């Protein structure tokens, strides 16, 4: 009854399933490993933050001043001089449920680089009560953040802002507001580096610091999808085989659709 499995089309279908199922399972385990890797990375970053071990900011930036994969939310130090003459305010930023401004000041002369490091010295609700940046050489401790994008909540990238304000913190926008180049990342001051009168900016909720992030959920979802695809392929193969086997059994027993359906009686008596 299952001799039909030796036919070329069924051999091809079976071989296809044999190839697809291990591929789907392998991709599922690959996505699972990526999920586990992100979780481990998040725990590692959280441990580094809790340990309070700060590293020089340049060690976590590429040669072009871009954030490396290991730099997100790392505790860093920035040594240089504040450029108080080009201090900027970033409006529509929320801290503890209140809307206000990030106070953004560039630190120049970091490790002899011509690029400045953007530093958010803190948050304020009143733009007219911003403490002045200290003069001379300073060392700021804070967390290294990725540049903002148009999708950042409250970034207002396309909003028309007064002089001295900027819509989002990114190298692409700062290059138009400053007479020198900056790194495409920024440092949010923490601890004693936050001056009196300003509030420290907390780590963003979507950072990989041990919480279940969107990327982790995405990897876990893809893992489930690949395993479902593998199971679906096996299920459909068994279903096709069962249907064909039933058809073969009916053929051997002489049961056909034509025989199973009653024929109308063509006699005149039946017509009456």
Going from N- to C-terminal start, the domains of the chain cover 3-43+216-247, 53-205
DSSP string, 91-150: EEEEETTEEEEEEEEEEE-GGG-SSBEEEEEEEES-TT-PPPPPPSEEEEEEEEEPPP-T
Residue 209: pLDDT above 50? no
- List Cα–Cα distances, 198 to 99, 135, 209, in angstroms: 13, 17, 24
- HEC assignment per residue over 244-265: HHHHHHHHHCCCCHHHHCCCCC
Q: How confident is the model at residue 86 (pLDDT cuts 50, 70, 90)?
A: very high
Residue 259: pLDDT above 70? no
Residue 203: pLDDT above 90? no
Q: DSSP secondary-structure letter at 165?
A: B
Distance CA 184, CA 182 (A): 6
Q: Is 245 exposed, middle or buried (0-12, 13-18, 19+ CB in 10 A)?
A: middle
3-state secondary structure at position 188: strand
Q: Is 265 exposed, middle or buried (0-12, 13-18, 19+ CB in 10 A)?
A: exposed
Distance CA 121, CA 193 (A): 7
Condensed to tens digits (0 to 9), the pLDDT of residues 90-126 reads: 998 889 889 999 999 999 998 888 899 999 999 999 8
- Which helix (H) or strand (E) element contains residue 234? helix 214-252
Cβ(173)–Cβ(186) under 8 Å? Answer: no
Distance CA 94, CA 172 (A): 23
The mean per-residue pLDDT over the stretch 7-35 comes to 89
**pLDDT confidence of residue 208:** 40
**Burial profile 149-187: b = 16 or more Cβ within 10 angstroms, e = fewer:** eeebeebbeeeeeeeebbbbbbbebbeeebeeebbbbbb
**pLDDT confidence of residue 142:** 93
Q: How confident is the model at residue 19 (pLDDT cuts 50, 70, 90)?
A: very high
Condensed to tens digits (0 to 9), the pLDDT of residues 237-249 reads: 899 888 888 887 8
**Tokens found for residue 18:** 């044999």
The mean per-residue pLDDT over the stretch 179-202 comes to 93
3-state secondary structure at position 64: coil
Q: How confident is the model at residue 205 (pLDDT cuts 50, 70, 90)?
A: very low
Q: How confident is the model at residue 139 (pLDDT cuts 50, 70, 90)?
A: very high
3-state secondary structure at position 90: strand
The mean per-residue pLDDT over the stretch 55-62 comes to 89
217 versus 173: the higher-pLDDT residue is 173
């Amino acid at each position: 009854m299952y001799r039909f499995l030796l036919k070329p089309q069924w051999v091809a279908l079976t071989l296809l399933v044999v190839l697809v199922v291990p591929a789907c399972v392998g991709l599922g385990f690959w996505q699972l490993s990526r999920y586990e890797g992100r979780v481990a990375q998040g725990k590692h970053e959280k441990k580094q933050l809790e340990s309070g071990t700060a590293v020089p900011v340049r060690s976590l930036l590429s040669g072009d001043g871009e954030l490396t994969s290991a730099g997100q939310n790392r505790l860093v130090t920035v040594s240089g001089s504040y450029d108080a003459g080009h201090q900027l305010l970033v409006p529509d930023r929320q801290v503890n449920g209140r809307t206000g401004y990030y106070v953004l000041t560039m630190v120049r002369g970091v490790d002899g680089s011509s690029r400045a490091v953007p530093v958010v010295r803190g948050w304020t609700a009143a733009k007219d009560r911003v403490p002045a940046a200290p003069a001379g050489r300073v060392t700021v401790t804070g967390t290294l953040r990725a540049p903002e994008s148009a999708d950042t909540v409250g970034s207002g990238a396309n909003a028309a802002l007064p002089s001295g304000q900027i819509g989002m913190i990114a190298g692409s926008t700062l290059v138009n507001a400053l007479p020198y180049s900056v790194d495409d990342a920024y440092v949010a001051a923490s601890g004693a580096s936050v001056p009196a009168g300003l509030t420290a900016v907390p780590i963003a909720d979507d950072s990989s610091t041990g919480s279940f992030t969107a990327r982790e959920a995405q990897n876990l979802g893809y893992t489930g999808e690949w395993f479902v695809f593998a199971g679906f392929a096996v299920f459909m193969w068994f279903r096709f085989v069962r249907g064909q086997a039933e058809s073969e059994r009916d053929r051997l027993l002489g049961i056909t659709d034509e025989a199973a359906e009653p024929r109308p009686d063509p006699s005149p008596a039946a017509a009456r």
